[in-house]
Amino acid sequence: MKAKRTHPCALAALVLATLLPWSAGFATEAEAPSCRALATRADPVATVETTLAGVPAILRVPKTITQPPIVLWHGFGPPASEQALMEALPLDDVPAIKVYLGLPLFGKRAEAGGVEALKRRQANDFASQIFAPVVVGAAEELPAVVNALRAMGCLARDGKIGLFGFSGGGAAVLLALAEHEVPVGRAVVLNASTGLSASIAAFEKATGRPYAWSDAARELARRTDAAGRAGEIAAGHPPVALLIVQGTADATLTPQLATDLHAALKAKYAARDAQRLQLILAQHMTHNVTDAGSLGEVGKWAGDWFNR
């Protein structure tokens, strides 16, 4: 029987979604300047809030661009919005356009009632009403976002993007890598859910209540099982260069998930591509990465990876 009430710890761990106000002006997709035009501005970094194929986004454009765009997804907890993730990880040492996307049902796409609406969804069914629309939905709208970036002159027709995802956003990254609908050269996941099963385990731990699995949920778990789809993630010549960063003090999505994923992928990466896969276990780092020290380390690791 599905739970009808949600323990507050579960909500804090899994569902937190309000966008902080941002002072920059908003541009519709038609009004947004091209990336080339943004790069010619006098400021060292130009930012614009817009939509890409209907997806809320913040573009962070440096004056010097020598690398393909990096698309970044926030998580369910802090940083829990595109604006918060940009402030936490601006990645200004990477000469690439950064594209911070809002997840479905968060921020500007939140339902009436905000967090309370998410609570109701979570209580009704976590798989079909939270994980599927948010995580799978984000991965499925990525091809249209990439086409919009190409139309704006932000990405060459045959160019590969970079991907970054935190927590639930990390699960979206891993699904996108497995399904190959968008060409990706490099990716970083931080304290990532490795699929629906991992997120359900975190949900059960936080609430102390068992989840009622359905056939549809089991199929969704199979589709989003990153370790189970390691061969698909590792496909390609060369395969995606993937950095897995995991906090050792993460009590929500445990380090074992990251080490299991790394082991499954390592078995699929050819010896010549071994350097394209790396796991960093960050000592004492918790799930929600908000302190300056941890953010500084993550920013350096991610920046170095994208700059290779």
**Which of these ranges, 8-17, 150-159, 180-189, has the smallest mean pLDDT?**
8-17
Closest among 307, 306, 242 to 275, alpha carbons compared? 242
Residue 28 has pLDDT above 90, yes or no: no
What would the mean pLDDT of 293-302 be, rounded to a whole number? 98
Please tell me the predicted confidence (pLDDT) of residue 33: 62
pLDDT, tens digit, for every residue of 277-286? Answer: 999 999 999 9
What would the mean pLDDT of 82-95 be, rounded to a whole number? 98
Q: Do 31 and 53 contact (CB within 8 A), yes or no? A: no
CA–CA dist 88, 198 (Å, integer): 25
**Looking at this protein, which amino acid is placed at residue 289?**
V
Phi, psi of 282 (to 5 degrees): -85, 115
Phi, psi of 113 (to 5 degrees): 105, -15
What would the mean pLDDT of 176-193 be, rounded to a whole number? 99
Closest among 128, 138, 134, 129 to 220, alpha carbons compared? 128
| 3-state helix, strand and coil shares in percent for the chain, rounded to the nearest 5 | 40, 15, 40
Please tell me the predicted confidence (pLDDT) of residue 32: 59
What angle do the packed helices 196-207 and 215-223 form, to 10 degrees? 120
Q: CA end-to-end span of the chain, whole Å? A: 50
CA–CA dist 176, 186 (Å, integer): 12
**Which of these ranges, 4-18, 77-91, 244-258, has the smallest mean pLDDT?**
4-18
- Whole-model pTM? 0.90
Please tell me the predicted confidence (pLDDT) of residue 27: 55
Please state which architecture CATH assigns to domain 8-307. 3-Layer(aba) Sandwich (3.40)
Please tell me the predicted confidence (pLDDT) of residue 8: 32
Tokens at 99, concatenated: 């594209």
Residue 293 has pLDDT above 80, yes or no: yes
Counting beta carbons within 10 angstroms of the beta carbon of residue 52, is it exposed (0 to 12), middle (13 to 18) or buried (19 or more)?
buried
- Mean pLDDT, the chain, integer: 90
190, HSE (Cβ side, Cα atoms, 13 Å): 31
Counting beta carbons within 10 angstroms of the beta carbon of residue 215, is it exposed (0 to 12), middle (13 to 18) or buried (19 or more)?
exposed
CA–CA dist 202, 222 (Å, integer): 17
Residue 39 has pLDDT above 90, yes or no: no
Three-class DSSP labels, 198-211: HHHHHHHHHHCCCC
pLDDT, tens digit, for every residue of 103-162? Answer: 999 999 999 998 899 989 999 999 999 999 999 999 999 999 999 999 999 999 999 999
pLDDT band at 29 (very low <50, low <70, confident <90, very high): low
What would the mean pLDDT of 171-199 be, rounded to a whole number? 99
